[in-house]
Every structure is written in structure tokens, then in C-alpha cells.
Amino acid sequence: MSLTQEQVKHIARLAKLHVTPEEVDGYVTDLNSIVGYIDILSSVPDSELQKVQGNIEHSLIPRLDEEHRDITREALLACSPQKIIQNQIAVDSLGIRA
């Protein structure tokens, strides 16, 4: 399966992303590469996937969630090059287009 330019434009509209015609070509290439990789993975036999899944379950050791209060809010805010207003970092724009 491969995606067309029109499908990529439609996906961008759904995601509310503004993409230029030049960017569409890049996204077509990138997304088709991802879809191609998924197609390759779908051809792997289930017996092989079970071997990998077993290895992953034994190698992942969950860490304890611990609250750390080593640093103060003021120290974190002081790291920002942006202006601080009412203990919040001021930003100009989030770059979201409708």
C-alpha cells in the first residue's frame, strides 16, 4: 500500500496542519516508507513475534514512580529565556493554524 499526494493532503487537513506543496512530496516519501516498514512487519510469522515478545517482557523492568522535589519552581522558571508572567513562561504563538 502506498499513499498518494491527495491522501497526504487529506491527512494534513484532518490534523489541521498547513503544508506546502513541497512538504507534501516529502511527507509522501516519509509516510510511504513507514507504511512499507509496517507491511514488512505484517509478513513476519507469529511464531517469531512470540519469541521477541517473550524477550521484551523479561528485559523491561518497571521503575518506581517517585516524587522528586530537589528543584524549586523558581529555579525551573529561571532556566527559561522567555519572559515570566504570573509564574508562567510567556510564549508569542503556538503556531497552530485552523
Which conformational region is residue 88 in: left (phi greater than 0), alpha (psi within -120 to 50 degrees), or beta?
beta
H or E segment at 88?
strand 88-89
Of 6 and 73, the one with more pLDDT: 6
pLDDT tens by residue, 76-86: 899 998 889 89
pTM of the model: 0.46
Of 12 and 60, the one with more pLDDT: 12
Half-sphere exposure of 15 (CA within 13 A, CB side): 9
Is 65 part of any domain?
no
CATH number of the domain to which 44 belongs? 1.10.20.60
Containing domain of residue 17, as a range? 1-60
DSSP characters over 42-60: HTS-HHHHHHHHHHHHHH-
Give me the number of domains the chain comprises: 1
Q: Read off the DSSP letter of residue 35.
A: H
Is 94 part of any domain?
no
pLDDT score of 97 more than 60: no
Is 22 part of any domain?
yes
Cα 14 to Cα 35: distance, rounded to the nearest angstrom:
19
Residue 54: the pLDDT is: 62
pLDDT score of 69 more than 90: no
Cα 34 to Cα 17: distance, rounded to the nearest angstrom:
19
Residue 98: the pLDDT is: 45
pLDDT tens by residue, 17-65: 999 998 999 999 999 999 999 888 888 887 777 766 666 666 667 778 8
Is 75 part of any domain?
no
